[in-house]
């Protein structure tokens, strides 16, 4: 997010910046007329060139055209300069630099980049001018989404620049980050934040996003705490809580969200749902249920099946079985969900309410969207067994064996029934039939 914003800013400003750079460059060229250029590598003089009077005159005319935005005439002057046979490497570098400025000012970024690349290849400019050219090319790479090239060139520039501004570390980190080279981006983002003269939220945000991409949750949490001290925004509270959850530290995740709640920062349904889930995980389900009920009452939390199921779970964990049963039944009806009806059936089975369990299973089967039909058949067998409808239980369990997921459980229950009662009696058949229509009542 931060890198994209920065990229748009660079794209918007580049033509004007490059035009200004062109005029400064050509003015400097005028001052150098007839003087010596020293191109150095690692502090040692490499080659000496001069900017001749003829070359100087060409560049001066280019400057005049550029100051009037006469781009065609400026390029024609450079073409004329290029036709000269005895241009030295420094003069050619100046010519390519001038072309780059004109192309950038007219939004021809591809040609501007190629021109700067040609200028750099000559390695004939003084150190400071060579570095300026590298920096401008790195910016153009960034504007044109050649992110890794941009990062590499900025990094190369930083190796030789004296007292670089922290913003260049930020640009380098941003370029590498957009290239998804987060390991390369990290040291530059750290350097930018360490050297920033005043708190820069975007710089800290970039470092935060890099830590996140590298799955370094400890560093993510540390950076979020720093951001909260300087910029106490809701989004950072939510991100810090989510980070602690990712670290399996639900106690801290809950504590952070409770602070946000106390500050009246929580406003959206999903935020209250997450808070309720954390309450349940930390063993305070009554708080979860009370929160969900309050937010249902004011309309913040909807009566979706998922929310109702969460509320039912909270009441169940709080040992309020009546409210849990009523809410779970409401959830199953609202969703027309076979899964919720099976959950309701399991709830009734735990409370030994066999007839109600059988009704819930029947509702689930009639919906016809069971993820695991065998599970419903096993539950049916269990209910019939406890209602002493043994033949009906065995029939359901035999059908359950046809489903791979339920085969083992079904066989275990079949073995239990057969070991308890031996060969079935003839009277069981009618009793089983009565059970299949849920007419047997509670036992």
Residue 386: its H or E element: helix 373-386
173-215 pLDDT, tens digit per residue, is 999 999 999 999 999 999 999 999 899 999 999 999 999 999 9
Beta strands in 21-132 (DSSP E): 36-41, 44-50
φ, ψ of residue 283 in degrees (nearest 5): 80, 25
265 falls within a domain: no
The last residue of one of the domains, among 96, 111, 145, is 145
Q: Which of 83, 114, 145 is the last residue of a domain?
A: 145
Pick from 271, 322, 324: nearest CA to 300: 271
Separation of first and last alpha carbons in the chain: 63
pTM, 2 dp: 0.76
Looking at per-residue pLDDT, the higher value among 191 and 334 belongs to 191
pLDDT at 429: 43
What radius of gyration, in Å, describes the C-alpha atoms of the chain? 37
Identify whether 273 is part of a domain.
no
Answer yes or no: is pLDDT of 442 > 80. no
SS (HEC) of 254-268: HHHHHHHHHCCCCCC
Q: For the chain, how many structural domains are there in total?
A: 2
Q: Is residue 193 part of a domain?
A: no
In the predicted structure, residue 11 carries a pLDDT above the cut 70: no
Question: Does residue 86 fall inside a structural domain?
Answer: yes
What CATH number does residue 85 fall under?
1.25.40
Range of the domain at 28: 1-145
Domain annotation covers residue 365? yes
- Asked whether residue 284 is assigned to any structural domain, the reply reads no
pLDDT digits (tens, 9 = 90+) for 385-412: 999 999 999 999 999 999 999 999 999 9
- Among 86, 114, 145, the domain boundary falls at 145
């Amino acid at each position: 997010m931060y890198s994209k914003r920065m990229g748009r800013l660079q794209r918007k400003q580049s033509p004007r910046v490059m035009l200004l750079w062109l005029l400064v460059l050509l003015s400097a060229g005028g001052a150098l007329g007839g003087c010596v250029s020293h191109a150095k590598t690692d502090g040692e003089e490499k080659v000496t060139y001069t900017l001749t009077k003829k070359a100087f005159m060409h560049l001066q005319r280019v400057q005049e055209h550029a100051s009037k935005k006469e781009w065609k005439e400026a390029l024609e002057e450079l073409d004329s300069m290029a036709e000269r046979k005895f241009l030295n490497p420094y003069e050619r570098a100046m010519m390519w630099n001038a072309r780059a400025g004109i192309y950038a000012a007219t939004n021809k970024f591809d040609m501007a980049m190629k021109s700067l690349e040609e200028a750099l290849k000559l390695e004939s400019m003084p150190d400071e001018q060579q570095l300026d050219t590298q920096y401008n090319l790195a910016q153009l790479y960034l504007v044109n989404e050649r992110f890794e090239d941009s990062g590499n060139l900025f990094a190369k520039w930083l190796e030789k620049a004296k007292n670089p501004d922290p913003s260049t570390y930020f640009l380098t980190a941003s370029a590498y980050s957009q290239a998804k080279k987060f390991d390369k981006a990290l040291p530059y983002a750290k350097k930018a934040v360490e050297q920033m003269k005043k708190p820069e939220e975007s710089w800290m945000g970039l470092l935060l996003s890099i830590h996140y991409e590298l799955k370094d949750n400890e560093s993510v949490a540390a950076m979020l705490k720093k951001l909260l001290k300087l910029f106490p925004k809701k989004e950072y509270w939510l991100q810090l809580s989510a980070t602690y959850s990712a670290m399996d530290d639900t106690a801290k995740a809950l504590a952070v969200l409770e602070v946000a709640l106390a500050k009246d920062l929580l406003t959206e349904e999903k935020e209250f749902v997450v808070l309720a889930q954390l309450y349940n995980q930390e063993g305070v389900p009554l708080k979860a249920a009370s929160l969900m009920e309050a937010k249902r009452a004011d309309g913040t939390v909807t009566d979706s099946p998922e929310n109702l199921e969460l509320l039912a779970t909270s009441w169940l964990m709080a040992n309020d079985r009546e409210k849990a049963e009523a809410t779970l039944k409401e959830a199953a009806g609202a969703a027309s969900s076979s899964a919720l009806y099976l959950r309701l059936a399991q709830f009734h089975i735990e409370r030994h309410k066999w007839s109600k369990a059988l009704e819930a299973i029947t509702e689930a089967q009639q919906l016809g969207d069971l993820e695991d039909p065998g599970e419903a058949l096993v539950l049916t067998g269990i209910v019939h067994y406890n209602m002493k409808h043994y033949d009906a239980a065995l029939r359901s369990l035999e059908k359950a064996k046809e489903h791979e997921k339920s085969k083992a459980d079904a066989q275990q229950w079949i073995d239990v029934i057969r070991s308890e009662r031996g060969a079935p009696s003839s009277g069981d058949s009618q009793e089983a039939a009565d059970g299949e229509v849920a007419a047997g009542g509670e036992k």
